[in-house]
Amino acid sequence: MDRRDWLKLASVAAVPMAARRAAAQGVPAAPFPGMTVRMAEPRNLEYPFAELKAFLTPTEQFYVRSHFAVPKLDPTGYTLTVEGEVVRPVKLTLADLSKLGEVTLPLTLECAGNGRVFLVPQPRGLQWGLGGVGTAEFTGVPLSAVLGLAGVKPGAADVVLVGADAGAVAGDAPSPGVIPYDRGIPLAKAMRPEVLLATTMNGEPLTAAHGAPLRAVVGGWYGMAAVKWLTRVVVTAKPHAGFWQTLDYSVFERPNGVPTLVPVTKMLPKASIARPALGDVVPANRPATITGAAWAGEEAVGRVEVSVDGGATWADARFTTAARPFCWRLWEAPWMPVTRGPARLVARATAAGGATQPAARDPDRRTYLINHLVPVEVLVK
Ligand SMILES: Nc1nc2c(c(=O)[nH]1)N[C@H]1C(S)=C(S)[C@@H](COP(=O)(O)O)O[C@H]1N2
Ligand SMILES: [Mo]
């Protein structure tokens, strides 16, 4: 679909009102068929999870989470600096980067606030339903190669990824004025092969919304570490305590019973039902299929179970795509709906190591890490 087709499409009623309003405000035109606008500006878009069909999410439907306006970056004059606790600080162009050797990996990204709309009482923050998640193939150089070039000094703790976007965050815990989007990851994770500095998504150059010309992707971790519009890599002597992993994107843990804020990191196991969707009418006495996806962050998905009675009894689902590291797996389960009336469908993923989804919400998680069991209510008729 070219820009002209998109503009044509933008004029028809199929495009949500908020999207048309955003287009009218001069937001760069790019197609996002069927997506829900969670915020018009900066534009935040949710994937229509009920449309899940394939392992890879089309880029035009891949959820967008941006805290600030898309920064204007010229790919020709673009450089990435590697600085801080390194032996040789370096400045790299995109051509320099690609010479370090590119790899292609499919990775699942989930926003740490995905599913927030299911929290009771409703907290502040973007009200994601099921679709703050997607899987794409990313091509880029391993962050380890870039760090190798600069030479990390002994004793370094974190690698801070800094984006070119910036703004002031309001609220109860405001930012100290205008700050960039940044995120630190421990050196051990930064050196792993599933951490890439990517220029390509699903075989095409990154789009502006997804971080062009260069973004990080951190396999197995929630999306907040996948810094878009990456311009600086800063190696630090101490663990980074930036805004985006202390006041934001942090949860409480209780070592020795003492509540302690820790940054959000690994994705937790989660299975989501794509179809039937919440509120669907399902014909009685006709074989149905429940379909969805499940992921478990750095671990493999060991098992997906489905319940059609609100969690009283469970049956194993069948995987319909292969296991790939750091990626979701699609699954399906047969269902013969007999009893007319409301039915509560629940899916539950268990990671290979045995960790599974909790039945109840843990308030220590604040408004993140939302993987407690949420039934999908449908009507059998
Ligand atoms: N520079 C920058 N990087 C960012 C963000 C941002 O606001 N600015 N949002 C983060 C969050 S919270 C998520 S979930 C992912 C979303 O990536 P996507 O928009 O490509 O889906 O980007 C991350 N990287
Ligand atoms: Mo996110």
Ligand 1 centroid–CA 121 distance in Å is: 26
Is pTM beyond 0.85 here? yes
CA–CA distance, 195 with 158 (Å, rounded to integer) = 14
Q: Which residues contact 1 (CB under 8 A, 6 or more apart)?
A: 9, 31, 60
Kind and range of the H or E element at 165? strand 158-168
Per-residue pLDDT in tens (0 to 9) along the chain, 381 residues: 344 444 333 333 344 444 444 444 444 557 888 999 999 999 999 999 999 999 999 999 999 999 999 999 998 999 999 999 999 999 999 999 999 999 999 999 999 999 999 999 999 999 999 999 999 999 999 999 999 999 999 999 999 999 999 999 999 999 999 999 999 999 999 999 999 999 999 999 999 999 999 999 999 999 999 999 999 999 999 999 999 999 999 999 999 999 999 999 999 999 999 999 999 999 999 999 999 999 999 999 999 999 999 999 999 999 999 999 999 999 999 999 999 999 999 999 999 999 999 999 999 999 999 999 999 999 999
Which residues constitute the domain of residue 360?
270-380
| Same-domain status, 255 and 362 | no
Q: Whose CA is nearest to atom 12 of ligand 1?
A: 224
User: Which residues line ligand 1 at a C-beta cut-off of 6 Å?
Assistant: 62-67, 109, 111, 163, 165, 181, 210, 223-224, 226-229
Number of domains into which the chain is organized: 2
| Same-domain status, 145 and 86 | yes
> Where among 217, 232, 263 does a domain terminate?
263
> Where among 263, 289, 317 does a domain terminate?
263
Ligand that comes closest to the CA of residue 64: 1
Which protein residues have their CB within 5 A of the ion that is ligand 2?
65, 111, 223-224
Residue 37 lies in a domain: no
List residues bridging with 169 in a β-sheet.
none
Q: Which atom of ligand 1 is nearest to the CA of 110?
A: 14
* Single-letter amino acid code for the residue at 20: R
Residue 70 lies in a domain: no
Ligand 1 centroid–CA 87 distance in Å is: 30
| Same-domain status, 234 and 179 | yes
Q: Which atom of ligand 1 is nearest to the CA of 249?
A: 12
Ligand 2 centroid–CA 286 distance in Å is: 39
Helices (H), the chain: 3-10, 17-24, 94-98, 143-150, 187-190
CA–CA distance, 240 with 231 (Å, rounded to integer) = 17
Q: Which residues contact 25 (CB under 8 A, 6 or more apart)?
A: 40, 41
> Where among 206, 228, 263 does a domain terminate?
263
| Same-domain status, 227 and 80 | yes
Q: Whose CA is nearest to atom 4 of ligand 1?
A: 227
Identify the DSSP state of 86.
Answer: B
Ligand 1 centroid–CA 223 distance in Å is: 6
Q: Whose CA is nearest to atom 5 of ligand 1?
A: 66
| Residue 234: CATH number of its domain | 3.90.420.10
